[in-house]
Amino acid sequence: MMKILQLMTLFRFKKLLIFCFLLIGCSKTVSTTGEKELIEPNPEKRAEAARDKGGGILGEITGKRPGTGNSYEFSTSNVLWRATLKSLDFLPILNADYSGGIIIYDWYSENINSNEYVKVSIRFLNNEVRSESLLITAHKKICNSKEQCQTSKLGDNFSKEIKNTILNEARLIKISETKK
């Protein structure tokens, strides 16, 4: 009998604790300026204001407000990203990480029977259309008839050529956007 009473008391305590958390979560924050806050009488306008403020039912858990510093817009707003995809559209993409700012292309050969392959990876260091914004690494793989391959890093001239192609394309995209 004593155990049942203890369980019931514990259950009531948990219900009270949950109720307190819900009550605190629904409370209104006090203005730091000491001014009284006017409450909009129209519920539709209040709902729109709450929607625009963000946070959802539980408030701003992550501390990030919608539309502030999110990286999901990187691929659509970054001119260099779009210029790279357009300039190197013939290369097969192995991995593209929009938020990390990197594109890794798969091994590519111009001829089907060729034993030479090229692989390119591009890192985006910032969003500005400048040569310092891109870090391009290229490798060359040569395979013999016995499926033994040797990989080496290509020289800076190859990377500079790719970088110039991307930067020229980015400039053309920027010019066309300013004309619109």
Contact 109, 125 (CB under 8 A): no
Please indicate, yes or no, if residue 55 is contained in any of the structural domains. yes
Where a domain ends, among 69, 89, 119? 69
> Is 0.75 topped by the overall pTM?
no
Contact 40, 46 (CB under 8 A): yes
Domain of 107: which CATH number? Answer: 3.30.530
Could you list the residue range(s) of the whole structural domain that residue 164 is in? 72-179
Contact 93, 107 (CB under 8 A): no
Please indicate, yes or no, if residue 33 is contained in any of the structural domains. no
In angstroms, the CA 114 to CA 109 distance is: 7
Where a domain ends, among 49, 69, 89? 69
The pLDDT of residue 59 is 52
Please indicate, yes or no, if residue 3 is contained in any of the structural domains. no
Do residue 91 and residue 154 come from a single domain? yes
Contact 125, 147 (CB under 8 A): no
pLDDT averages per 10-residue partition of the chain, 180 residues: 72 76 62 63 75 58 48 63 92 88 92 87 89 93 85 93 94 87
Please indicate, yes or no, if residue 29 is contained in any of the structural domains. no
How many domains, in total, are found in the chain?
2
CA 128 from centre of chain: 17
